[in-house]
Amino acid sequence: MKMTKNKKPILIAGGCSWTEKDYVSFIKTVPDELRGPWPMWPELLGDRIGDVEVINTALSGSGNKRILTAVFNEIIEHGDDVEYVVIMWSDITRFDLGAIELQPSLNHYNREKLLNPQNQHTQLTNSALAEIINSVISTHELEKNYIDHCTQVLLLNEYCKNKNIKLLMMSAFGMVNHHGFNEQLISYKGNRFRVDNLYRIILGSEHTHAVGETGTYWGWPVEFDLGGCDINNHSMIKNIEDGSIDLKCMIHDDDNHPSAYGQELLSENIFKIMSDMGYV
């Protein structure tokens, strides 16, 4: 790690499309000014903290391995200048292809082509991709994915603690139920089974307790049914009784990524969490 010291402390942010500063909605019917990009929660959080440099490593479609690698690269690059690391983790069933610059990952691959049956490349692309995804999902070792994620969290927590870096982690959404697998792409009927199976794994794993003990993973163990929470629901739920989302927080009915207003709410809530932790 470089032993440097700039005038401004650095905040490193990591995540997927909920965090990427250049995210633009894939819904072309939405007016351009409502599709993005706009200031995202890391940049807004930096403004709230004040006098910090923000390095946003997020990229749409990222799995957690890519998120961790990108953040670690920046920590090592900037050494003692790093004061904050804030990560919004993704779905644990996402998997990354190749090197960090080869993102987006397969599950986020060329969404416009996949959802447009009129596109001349769609039939071949859908057929090949569906076969690959079905194969991966049907043989997925969900428990291994969960343990891998917990291990990533624990390693990052220990590293940041040793370097006196203020670390905050959270999940953008549920661990396995973010993507509702488009019917045009694949026919997979085991989503409810995956969620129930995940609950069994979480409740039966010693890793669950270990991550909870870190005190740096807000909302752990993420899943609402198990007493956890993801930051998206925490920030955007309008009615806690029925779980309805304030539609102003979303870009569109077909794109539930945070709107500019939603990003403001995320930054506000993340800043409050950091304040409660004594970070700011």
Please name which of 113, 137, 134, 140 lies closest in space to residue 187, comparing C-alpha atoms. 134
Over residues 183-197, mean pLDDT: 52
Q: Give me the pLDDT at residue 199, please.
A: 87
Give pTM, 2 decimals.
0.81
SS3 assignment, position 118: coil
Task: Indicate the average pLDDT of the chain.
Answer: 80
- Residue 157: pLDDT over 80: yes
In the structure encoding, which two tokens stand for residue 229, read together?
């929470």
- Residue 129: pLDDT over 90: no
pLDDT band, very low/low/confident/very high, at 111 (cuts 50, 70, 90): very low
Q: Give me the pLDDT at residue 107, please.
A: 42
pLDDT band, very low/low/confident/very high, at 175 (cuts 50, 70, 90): confident
The torsion angles phi and psi of 253, rounded to 5 degrees, stand at: -55, -35
Q: Give me the pLDDT at residue 28, please.
A: 83
In the structure encoding, which two tokens stand for residue 148, read together?
């891998």
Over residues 194-209, mean pLDDT: 87
Q: Give me the pLDDT at residue 192, please.
A: 57
Please name which of 74, 66, 110, 111 lies closest in space to residue 92, comparing C-alpha atoms. 66
What residue type is 231 in one-letter code? I
pLDDT band, very low/low/confident/very high, at 116 (cuts 50, 70, 90): very low
Cα 61 versus chain centre, distance: 9
In the structure encoding, which two tokens stand for residue 165, read together?
């870096």
- Residue 185: pLDDT over 80: no
In the structure encoding, which two tokens stand for residue 159, read together?
């590293």
CATH number of the domain at 10-105+142-182+192-276, please? 3.40.50.1110
Q: Which residue has the tokens 């953008």?
A: 172
Over residues 49-56, mean pLDDT: 97
Q: Which residue has the higher pLDDT, 239 or 48?
A: 48
- Residue 61: pLDDT over 70: yes
Neighbours of 121 (CB within 10 A): 11
Q: Which residue has the tokens 């129930």?
A: 196
Beta bridge partners of 12: 55, 85
d(CA 261, CA 238) in angstroms, rounded, equals: 14
- Max mean pLDDT among 26-40, 80-94, 150-164, 231-245 falls in 150-164
88 CB-near residues (< 8 Å, 6+ apart)? 13, 14, 15, 16, 18, 19, 41, 58, 169, 170, 171, 172, 231
d(CA 48, CA 262) in angstroms, rounded, equals: 16
Neighbours of 195 (CB within 10 A): 16
d(CA 250, CA 258) in angstroms, rounded, equals: 5
Q: Give me the pLDDT at residue 128, please.
A: 56
Q: Which residue has the higher pLDDT, 231 or 189?
A: 231
d(CA 230, CA 228) in angstroms, rounded, equals: 7
How is 58-101 classified by DSSP, letter by letter? --TT--HHHHHHHHHHHHHHHGGGEEEEEEEE--TT----SSGG
pLDDT band, very low/low/confident/very high, at 187 (cuts 50, 70, 90): very low
Tens-place pLDDT, residues 14-40: 999 999 999 988 888 888 888 889 999
